[in-house]
Amino acid sequence: MIPLTRRAALTLGVAATMALTACSSATTGGSSSSGGGEVVIAGTYPVDSIDPGGPQGGGTGPQMVEQQIFSRLVRTKTDGSVEGDLATSWKSDATARTWTFTLRNGVKFSDGTALKAADVVDSFKRFTDLKGTNAANFPGYTMTAPSDDTVVLTASKPDAAIPRKLAVFFVLPSGVGANDTAFFDKPVGTGPFKLDKFSPNEIVLVPNAQYYGGAPKVTKVTIKKMPELAARLTALRTGEADVVWGIPDDQLSEVQKDSTLNVEIVQSSAVYTMWFNSSTPALKDAAVRRALWEAVDFPTIIKKLYPQTGSLSDSVVSKQTLGYVAQTPVKYDPVAAKAALTAAGFDFGTKLRLQFANAEFQQFNQAVVSDLQKIGVQVDLLQKEQAVFTKDLLSLNWDINFQQLSNPMLDAANTVGRLYPCAAKRNGYCNPALDKLINQAAASTDEQERVKLYGEAEKIIWDDAVGMFPMAVKYAYAWNKRLSGFTPDPNGLPDFSKLQVNS
């Protein structure tokens, strides 16, 4: 098997690897000792939309751009803690159903208009009304503005994870319509950058002079579609690229030898996740799903493909996630797997459809298909364009679905709580006992109890093989030493606002 490049993250929808690059000194204007210059981001995947409430707005690629243009009430830091963005403080009532947020004074949109609580309230209503992937975190939730500097979020049930959940809610000005394409052509936001240009192959950001945290020092950030790994690594080695992440293991040693680069491998929040569609007749039986998991030699696949950037996962969520509890590993045993399938009456004439998006996941999925075929299970491996993949994912038009699921909230409420209840209808699986545990975990304000309850929920998901959860992901970052202010992000969502190009 040949090592495989990998997306920086997902999320809900869907994960994306991007590469941050800066032009050479002849074009960056980086001859000063520190500050100005153009930074170019060479992206593997297109960013088709920057509408945070749209069907693709929750993907890693769009979200990386959205966080540069728009602000949130709160955001997660690289260490997993929560800090204020537009909100300076927040508190809940005793039931964790009513949350009050105090807004930062003096915040302005990029057009100079003052931010008001009504903007936050209208943005939240639009966000939930559009029912994008991340809106599922707020079922029946409402927001009001008792004053211009205060908003109150009322949950339909106790929810102690509200602050972390709001890390994916972006604030727009009041009045943006449901399908307001004109607004997103020239969006107005309170983030560190403004949109200068948007096209299928290039996004250009320029500093927002109105940003409450101070305008970024770089003069321009250009996000270019650059899907070929070879092109990204060549740009890095020649000095055109300042930062690249998602570097495959077979390329890491050469990158690490380059004295002009900093290289860091960080544990991410992402887990390779391969759901089974439990509504498919062939996959309704948990014994069948479990047997299919046993049939794949994930330890060997990971060791060969990802010796530095992958490890065998032992839970539904990453170790950094609040709610993580280790589960009993599923052992590779193809003989037992085939016997279990036969005993369960599995029809070996059935051809299962395994869908994924993005070419760098092809070899991993091919290895999975190869192992399944060894015990007589037939699989069609289907690589789909991102928009088609997302549509088919939500309509359950698949039998096995591969995603690299990251969790920018670093809370199991965003994964276990959002994707696995019966009402989510994300993978054809429904278990009232699981729903009860998820509701109890969401209601508890005691973090230790929340971890315990989510651990029990994860055990049900794991033991019932709602999916296969083979690998915990690490991201390999490399950045040119003349770039300062760059911090590797565990979600593949680096902040560009502190970047400086030094001589």
CATH number assigned to the domain comprising residue 244: 3.40.190.10
Cα–Cα distance measured from residue 375 to residue 372, given in angstroms and rounded to the nearest whole number:
6
Query: Does residue 449 sit in the same domain as residue 320?
Result: yes
pLDDT tens digits for range 188-227: 999 999 999 998 788 999 999 999 999 999 999 888 777 7
Cα–Cα distance measured from residue 454 to residue 317, given in angstroms and rounded to the nearest whole number:
10
pLDDT of residue 24: 35
Query: Does residue 290 sit in the same domain as residue 329?
Result: yes
Q: Which two tokens stand for residue 444?
A: 């508890």
Query: Does residue 323 sit in the same domain as residue 216?
Result: no
Cα–Cα distance measured from residue 211 to residue 192, given in angstroms and rounded to the nearest whole number:
5
8 A C-beta contact, residue 488 and residue 245 = yes
Cα–Cα distance measured from residue 277 to residue 280, given in angstroms and rounded to the nearest whole number:
6
Query: Does residue 245 sit in the same domain as residue 355?
Result: no
pLDDT tens digits for range 116-156: 999 999 999 999 999 888 898 899 999 999 999 999 999 99
Q: Which of 181, 199, 229 is the last residue of a domain?
A: 181
Instruction: Give residue 473's identity as a one-letter amino acid code.
Output: V
Residue 138 domain-assigned (yes or no): yes
Low-confidence ranges of the chain (pLDDT < 70): 1-35, 44-46
CATH number, residue 140:
3.90.76.10
8 A C-beta contact, residue 54 and residue 96 = no
User: How far is it between the farthest Cα atoms of the chain?
Assistant: 71
135: containing domain:
70-181
pLDDT of residue 45: 66
Burial 229-256 (b: 16+ CB within 10 A, else e): beebbebbbebbbbbbbbbbbebbeebe
Instruction: Give residue 401's identity as a one-letter amino acid code.
Output: N
Query: Does residue 256 sit in the same domain as residue 273?
Result: no
Query: Does residue 136 sit in the same domain as residue 257?
Result: no
pLDDT of residue 79: 79
Q: Which of 122, 150, 181 is the last residue of a domain?
A: 181
3 state DSSP class of 207: strand
Residue 282 domain-assigned (yes or no): yes
Structural domains in the chain (count): 3
Query: Does residue 456 sit in the same domain as residue 479?
Result: no
Query: Does residue 359 sit in the same domain as residue 462?
Result: yes
Residue 186 domain-assigned (yes or no): no
Q: Which of 159, 181, 203 is the last residue of a domain?
A: 181
Q: What are phi and psi of 495, to 5 degrees?
A: -90, 125
CATH number, residue 430:
3.10.105.10
Query: Does residue 275 sit in the same domain as residue 398?
Result: yes
Residue 5 domain-assigned (yes or no): no
Q: Find where tokens 């479990």 sit.
A: 290
Residue 4 domain-assigned (yes or no): no
Q: If 0-12 CB within 10 Å is exposed, 13-18 middle and 19+ buried, where does residue 175 land?
A: exposed
Q: What residues have CB less than 8 Å from 281, skipping those under 6 apart? A: none
Cα–Cα distance measured from residue 428 to residue 193, given in angstroms and rounded to the nearest whole number:
40
Residue 156 neighbours by CB distance under 10 Å = 11
8 A C-beta contact, residue 488 and residue 247 = no
Cα–Cα distance measured from residue 17 to residue 225, given in angstroms and rounded to the nearest whole number:
11
| Pick from 297, 301, 320: nearest CA to 410 | 320
Residue 458 domain-assigned (yes or no): yes
Q: Which two tokens stand for residue 200?
A: 């299928």
Query: Does residue 467 sit in the same domain as residue 483?
Result: no
pLDDT of residue 41: 79
Query: Does residue 377 sit in the same domain as residue 468?
Result: yes
pLDDT of residue 35: 67
8 A C-beta contact, residue 185 and residue 198 = yes
Residue 9 domain-assigned (yes or no): no
Query: Does residue 321 sit in the same domain as residue 374?
Result: yes
pLDDT of residue 77: 86
Output the CA–CA distances (angstroms, integers) from residue 327 to 315, 330, 462, in the order listed.
6, 9, 7
Q: What are phi and psi of 120, to 5 degrees?
A: -65, -45
pLDDT of residue 44: 67
8 A C-beta contact, residue 477 and residue 265 = yes
Residue 6 domain-assigned (yes or no): no
The strand pairing partners of 495, in sequence order, are none
8 A C-beta contact, residue 87 and residue 104 = yes
pLDDT of residue 241: 78
